[in-house]
Amino acid sequence: MNFETAISLFEASENTCMIFKDGETLRTFEDRGIKPLVITLMNEPEILEGTTITDRIIGRAAALLCVEGKAQKVYGHIMSEGAKKVLEDAGIETAFETLVPIIRNRDNTDTCPMEKKVAHTEDSHEAYTIFSTFLREKMAEAEAQK
């Protein structure tokens, strides 16, 4: 499956993120944000290598996770300029519907909090460590509240 076909399949879907490899759809997600990429890297990191990743929003945070997973191509319906640079610097082919200066938070009052968490780094492994720790903490908090 070529890049354009993967993009078309993604755009025609209701999914927030899809991962393609060798002509097939490997994973589909409905979770928002970077959670699908973090969970995939935590549970099956090898699966991302050489993939095409399509997502509704690709900011620097998601881009660094795509680099960590060794993706081959990344499409964001919305992609930030910082994400595009991270991906291209890593040799990852990119495409987008809309390029924006930065990714904003959900109520559009500030920069996305996930973007802020990795604003200081270009290191994909450091970004993954930050996000996997954050997600584990959030999951533990949710479990404790049950």
- CATH, residue 135: 3.40.140.30
Does the pLDDT at position 53 exceed 90?
yes
Average pLDDT over residues 127-138: 94
Over residues 102-116, the pLDDT tens digits come to: 999 999 999 999 999
Determine the Cα–Cα distance for residues 114 and 131; give it in Å rounded to an integer: 8
4 pLDDT tier (thresholds 50, 70, 90)? very high
| Residue 105 neighbours by CB distance under 10 Å | 13
For residue 68, give the 3-state DSSP assignment: helix
Residue 64: closest CA among 19, 128, 132: 128
pLDDT of residue 145: 86
Determine the Cα–Cα distance for residues 138 and 78; give it in Å rounded to an integer: 26
Segments forming the whole domain that contains residue 77: 3-144
pTM of the predicted protein model: 0.95
Residue 63: closest CA among 27, 103, 23: 103
Q: What is the full DSSP assignment across 2-58?
A: -HHHHHHHHHHSS-SEEEEETTEEEEEE---TTHHHHHHHHH-GGGGTT-EEEEEEE
Over residues 60-89, the pLDDT tens digits come to: 999 999 999 999 999 999 999 999 999 999
Q: How many domains does the chain have?
A: 1
